[in-house]
A = this chain, B = another copy of it.
Amino acid sequence: MKTIGKLAKELNISIETIRFYERQGLIEQPLKPESGYRMYGDALTSQLKFILKAKALGFTLKEIESLMSLSDSCADIESMGLQKLNLIRNKIADLQRLEKVIQDMTDSCKANQDPQSCPVINSLK
């Protein structure tokens, strides 16, 4: 059993973040003995680790809540994954389009002879 400070240090997050997840309903409020201090055991610790790993995968807190509530239904998890995959691929495609536009922009700057008139600015006008 550890206090919130130890747990926060162990997980490399802030105390406030843990309290925040609790307020959001992602984790339960742990037992608080006479002192009123939260005491964390292994269950809550690994639940928090779960949250942090899922967050690193790009899931939002709301999605993580779903992930945890789905318990172990593999089909549901797979479907969330596929959905996420779709989002990611769309985002990549968007960014690649953007990349091309901005690449063209800077190219035209490089090719520009007149330093007083920027083709990018002109094209936006």
Give 12 new A-B contacts, CB below 8 A, not counting A50-B124, A74-B116, A74-B119: A50-B125, A57-B102, A72-B118, A74-B117, A74-B118, A74-B120, A75-B109, A77-B121, A78-B110, A81-B102, A85-B106, A92-B96
Pair A73/B115 contact, Cβ less than 8 Å: yes
Number of copies: 2
CA distance A109 to B80 in the complex (A): 11
Q: Nearest Cβ distance between residue A93 and chain B, in whole angstroms?
A: 10
> Does A24 make an interface contact (CB < 8 A)?
no
> CB-defined interface of A34-59 with B at 8 Å, one 1/0 digit per residue?
00000000000010001001100110
Residue-wise interface mask of A (82-113) relative to B, using a CB-CB cutoff of 8 A (1 in contact, 0 not): 10110011011001101101110110011010
- A103 and B124 in contact, given A74-B109, A110-B78, A112-B74 (Cβ under 8 angstroms): no
Select one of B78, B89, B105, B106 contacting A99, CB under 8 A: B89
Contact with B along A5-35 (1 / 0, CB 8 A): 0000000000000000000000000000000
